[in-house]
Amino acid sequence: MKPMMRITKSHVTAALAVVAVVALAAPAPALALAPGDALPAAAAGTKMKNVDGKTLSLAEARGAKGTLVVFTCNECPYARGWEARIAELGKAALARGIGVVAVNSNDPKVVPGDGFEAMQARAKELGLAFPYVMDETSAVAKAFGATRTPEAYLFDAQGRLVYHGTIDDNVKDASAVKERYLADAVDAVAAGKEVARKETKALGCGIKFRS
């Protein structure tokens, strides 16, 4: 039987050095955007397939007064609970000069109901007046640091983030909403005013990122 190797301080130091090199080599995940941050350059020009079959980038969807990006999907109960309100709010925002894009970053291999044809059906059912695009590599969500569905990001006319978070304070009952977080932020941006509440906690299902 071979004697056990004695672990010395030099062995530990060498092991830690290897771990450090590996950690440095591994790509760090994007940090979540904070109020005041610009729309991520890595995501702005990425072409994504819209439910109408055409491709579109977030840069192309920018409005004169601002841009609203909502990461969402078909199957998450939270996304379903808010989807009608998102559809109405997005339509109103468009009419007021704010560009709107809904982005589905889920992997349909994990959630079959989030495939492209299902997205087309849902957009038609909701009567969406704005693009609903597929983030085919989940790279756009990762560039934003988005993790939930739904998760809203509202940028002003200068392209700076002025609101990030959830839609309102009651996913279950639209008639019981007391805090209209996203709607209030849209109102402020459309009027050229400062958004009072710039961030809330995004509530929803975790994004099923593509590997």
CA distance 205 to 76: 6
What phi and psi, each to the nearest 5 degrees, are found at residue 94? -60, -45
What phi and psi, each to the nearest 5 degrees, are found at residue 118? -70, -35
pLDDT of 15 > 70? The answer is no
CATH classification for the domain delimited by 30-206, as one of 3.50.30.30, 3.40.30.10, 2.60.40.10, 3.40.50.11540: 3.40.30.10
* Mean pLDDT score across all residues of the chain: 89
- Do the beta carbons of residue 174 and residue 84 sit within 8 Å? yes
Confidence grade of residue 32 (pLDDT, cut at 50, 70, 90)? confident
CA distance 107 to 123: 18
Q: pTM of the prediction? A: 0.86
pLDDT tens-place string over residues 185-205: 999 999 999 999 999 999 999
Structure tokens, 175: 């008639």
What phi and psi, each to the nearest 5 degrees, are found at residue 198? -90, -15
